[in-house]
Structure 1
Amino acid sequence: MEDHLSMTFEEVSKMATGFPGVTEEISYGAPSFRVGKAMLARLREDEVFVLKCDPSERDGLIAAQPDTFFLTDHYAKHPYVLVNLESADPDQMRTLIERAWKMVAPKSFTEPD
């Protein structure tokens, strides 16, 4: 991946709300994205995006791209990864948002008829 990539909250918002059933709400005083009551992602301070993520995949993301993906103690026991939007790759983010959506969306949204 190229260095010096960057994304804005508006860009990830457009990606997230492009999936069926995703709504934008306020959670902990910040914009968040949900499918029903299940949280897909939310904005944290300083252009950090909290994204639902399988813990086994999360470890690989953090190891491969520590400037982009990281954890805090608060999220260590939860299925989320923190993303520094200032160094996020748009194509990779679209893929990760889709995977997060599949984790929380009803099967009627994610499986073909």
Structure 2
Amino acid sequence: MTPDEVAAFLATLPGCRQKGTRAVPAWYVANRIVARLVAHDELMIRCAFDVRERLVTEHPDTFGIPPAYEAHMKVQAMLYGDSGAIQSALREAWELQRKMAGRARPRPA
């Protein structure tokens, strides 16, 4: 996938908005991050820990866990990898963040 293809795919998901900068775009739903372009061929995708382990196990040439991501609900996706797997991971990230936004409680005034 290219960064433009990532942007086009995420634009099809209801409520997913692009923010960030031109050089480092990021996509959010309900102000919760779904993904961010880290380099021209690398994407950070938000995901649950069990999903991350599945992605890395099933698609080791596409997904990885850099040391900086180990303690966080994030996975590294290399855009030269399996585009179908990347799109599935992006959709799962979007669904996760929509659910999490629905659980958020308003802060007291």
TM-score range, shorter chain: 0.7 to 0.9
Percent identity over the alignment is 25
Which ranges of 4 or more aligned residues in structure 1 deviate by more than 3 Å?
A: none
Q: Tell me which residue corresponds to 2:17.
A: 23
Runs (5+) with no aligned partner, structure 2 = 103-109
- Match among 71, 75, 81 for residue 81 of structure 1: 75
Deviation at 1:52, TM superposition (A): 1.0
- Match among 62, 72, 85 for residue 66 of structure 2: 72
Taking the TM superposition and a 5 Å limit, the aligned residue runs for 1:55-70 are 55-70=49-64
Taking the TM superposition and a 5 Å limit, the aligned residue runs for 1:29-68 are 30-68=24-62
- Flag the structure with more relative contact order, 1 or 2, with Cα contacts below 8 A and sequence separation at least 6: 1
Distance 2:35 2:14 in 1: 15
SS at match of 1:74: helix
Runs (5+) with no aligned partner, structure 1 = 1-6, 108-113
Deviation at 1:20, TM superposition (A): 1.0
Q: Tell me which residue corresponds to 2:97.
A: 104
